[in-house]
Amino acid sequence: MNTSLDCLVCFLRQALDAARMISSDVMVQEQIMREVMAWTARMDLGAPPPVVGQRIHRRLRELTGVKDPYQAVKDQGNRMALALLPDLEASVAKARDPLDMALRLALAGNVIDMGVNSSVSPADLSAAVGQAMTASIQGPLEEFRKTAAEAHTILYLADNAGEIVFDRLLIAQLGPERMTVAVRGGPVINDATLADAEAAGLDQMVRVIDNGSDAPGTLLHDCSETFRRHFESADLIVAKGQGNFETLSREAHTLFFLFKVKCPVIASHVGFPVGTHVLTTPRTESRPTATQEKGGA
């Protein structure tokens, strides 16, 4: 998707939040703000928002000299989620529809997003689980179920640390034996990397690769060739989180996005309010049919 004018305001807020989280040096905070404003003043609004996110966080790592500023936050997210895992597994085990329950819980885990929430407590996480139990998922659930049942190979694009523990439930339901999970190729915000996949025990149950990119989304041109081969050949791609939606929403693939709507711009794109749990597919340009072209009903 394109970057909207509202996203520009949000980039600055995110840059300031991130700078304050990573460094107490006001000169670093001021410098990153000035640089972000200068970039965004000239940015191509045809590019998806994670292009700026990638650049902000690269520059923050450079300015502070810290390779993975969110490491502690990610460790905490993984630990918090792992503590809940036995209960979550029990919920799936006793569910009448285990796939539906696993989808709900994978969506609950999407609350652990430092790009949007500056901190997530165990209470926030439990509240998100509670909400996921009652809030229905908006989207083509039956189509997803059918596609998943028929797929020989599934590529699962993970999103955040902590959230990937919740993803274990959905991965188990979809079948780890035919699946590859892809994490980010380098640290960016609290997005999951290979180290996080190990901390979450994901590497013990499924093949995990990294995508070769440090964008908080999936910018295909920035990803490794290995990743792109997986992407091209998968029968089904499951993509978690807004960042993956923002970067892949126009890809003509058998792709299902799974995320919690977190901002008004995405809300207007998907047609559901902020907070909605959404399962959705790419918006590829659909050619008008002959009837439509002639103005017929």
243, 47 Cβ separation under 8 angstroms: no
CB of 73 to a second copy, least distance (A): 21
Per CB under 8 A, does 16 bind a second copy? yes
Number of residues that bind a second copy (CB under 8 A): 19
Q: In angstroms, rounded to a whole number, what is the distance separating the alpha carbons of residues 139 and 55?
A: 32
CB of 5 to a second copy, least distance (A): 5
For a second copy, the binding residue among 25, 34, 130, 268 (CB under 8 A) is 34
Phi, psi values for residue 148, rounded to 5°: -65, -40
For a second copy, the binding residue among 42, 94, 96, 294 (CB under 8 A) is 42
Q: In angstroms, rounded to a whole number, what is the distance separating the alpha carbons of residues 278 and 256?
A: 10
Q: What angle do CA 243, 19, 119 make, to 5 degrees?
A: 60
Of 2-10, 126-134, 240-248, 285-293, the segment contacting a second copy by CB under 8 A is: 2-10
Q: Which helix (H) or strand (E) holds 202?
A: none
Please name the residue ranges forming H helices in 192-263.
194-199, 225-233, 241-248
Q: Which helix (H) or strand (E) holds 159?
A: none
CB of 290 to a second copy, least distance (A): 32
CB of 157 to a second copy, least distance (A): 30
Nearer to a second copy, 28 or 85 (CB): 28
* Residue 229, C-beta contacts closer than 8 angstroms, at least 6 positions apart: none
For a second copy, the binding residue among 2, 12, 47, 195 (CB under 8 A) is 12
For a second copy, the binding residue among 22, 23, 27, 33 (CB under 8 A) is 33
Q: Which residues bind a second copy (CB under 8 A)?
A: 5-6, 8-9, 12-13, 16, 26, 29-30, 33-35, 37-38, 40-42, 45
